[in-house]
Copies of this chain bind each other. A is one copy, B any other.
Amino acid sequence: MLAFASDYMEGAHPLILERMMKMNLQPQTGYGSDEICAAAKEKIRRACGVDDAEIFFLCGGTQTNQIVISTMLRPYEGVIAAATGHVNVHEAGAIEYSGHKVLPLPAHQGKIDPEELRSFLKAFRENPDREHMVFPGMVYISYPTEYGTLYSAQELNAVSGICREYGIPLFIDGARLGYGLAASKELTMRDIAALSDVFYIGGTKVGALFGEAVVFTKKNMPPHFMTQVKQHGGLLAKGWLLGLQFDTLLTDDLYLQISRHAVDLAMKLREGLRRKGYQLLLESPTNQQFVVLQNHQMRALAEKVIFSEWEPVDENRTAIRLATSWATREEDVDALLDLL
């Protein structure tokens, strides 16, 4: 079987496992108080160009979204997100479980529109009933989005500017950040850090066994954040495992380099699909590609390829997701194209 279902099917970049093996029996202090974590954080600060960035390592995406959002919001605030945003659709209600509403905006291929964001915030501010409503207290976007799309520099600047104007933080879900940065011709990690108030560098989907590095860029880490992480059940005893992974990924640009590999293969795949006349659900420049198949085609393909059924297009057609990752082999992309 060819495996293109997601970008979290394999383990970790070999350099990570090798280092883990090497350090395995060296005792470390608990909960991320160790020196590898400190080193990894320093590397992240440099990559972001934010000397006083505060960083915390967590285990997974939903956990990160829940903890960041609920610890940054006040109790009466909710988080604005695209209707298709991960927090709104695919986290089993983790945000609401923490007591906060997701305030959905229309999604445009996974993205929110800056003007619609501004209108929403303006309408709330002018609403005479607003004291009976959920206050918009944060904007959540994903980069890349769940549909593989990217905000342009102009769009991201606009969203960020509106957040500043209305005094609410911008949170960028970077579960696939590497693939976004590798694909973008405009935006770097420094831009992400500068334009957001908090974001995370996704590890689980980009070379790590597991792990996300949350970066608070404006001296705005919630007080006693470690305690709050523990309260959410998210504090890893052997925190150095997370530090080690990010320290490795942030060394010698490994993170971007392996991301570029995935994006290059995705572009090869996209080109091949186009050449063969397949309809793409949308234009994705990153590692996730969405192809519209006849249902019978899809069923046939499922015999030889693991992919994700994404959404029905109509009665007879379904969009599927094909994802490449840092671990995808070019020969598998070729084999996939041969099959299609």
Question: A residues engaging B (CB < 8 A)?
Answer: 1, 3, 5-6, 8-12, 14, 17, 20-21, 23-30, 59-67, 70-71, 74-76, 78, 89-97, 99-102, 104, 123, 128-129, 131-135, 204-205, 209-210, 223-224, 226-228, 230-238, 241, 306, 309, 312, 327
| Bound: A227/B135 CA distance, A | 9
Subset of 9 A-B contacts with CB under 8 Å: A9-B29, A10-B28, A11-B23, A27-B327, A75-B97, A75-B231, A76-B92, A90-B132, A132-B230
Inter-chain pairs besides A5-B27, A97-B232, A135-B227, 15 sampled, C-beta below 8 Å: A6-B30, A9-B27, A14-B24, A62-B235, A63-B233, A71-B75, A75-B228, A76-B93, A92-B131, A92-B227, A93-B100, A94-B231, A96-B134, A132-B227, A204-B238
| Bound: A134/B96 CA distance, A | 10
Contact of A92 among B74, B104, B228 (CB under 8 A): B228
Contact of A24 among B10, B30, B237 (CB under 8 A): B10
| Bound: A99/B98 CA distance, A | 6
Contact A9 B21 (CB under 8 A): no
| Bound: A67/B233 CA distance, A | 9
Q: What is the predominant secondary structure among interface residues of chain A facing chain B?
A: loop
Contacts of A74 in B (CB 8 A): 223-224
Given A71-B75, A76-B224, A210-B237, residue A91 in contact with residue B230 (CB < 8 A): yes
Contacts of A227 in B (CB 8 A): 76, 92, 131-133, 135
| Bound: A239/B160 CA distance, A | 35
| Bound: A312/B128 CA distance, A | 11
Contact A29 B5 (CB under 8 A): yes
Contact B224 A238 (CB under 8 A): no
Contact of A226 among B63, B131, B327 (CB under 8 A): B131
Q: Which residue of B lies closest to A208 (CB)?
A: B238
Contact B94 A241 (CB under 8 A): no
Contact A9 B24 (CB under 8 A): no
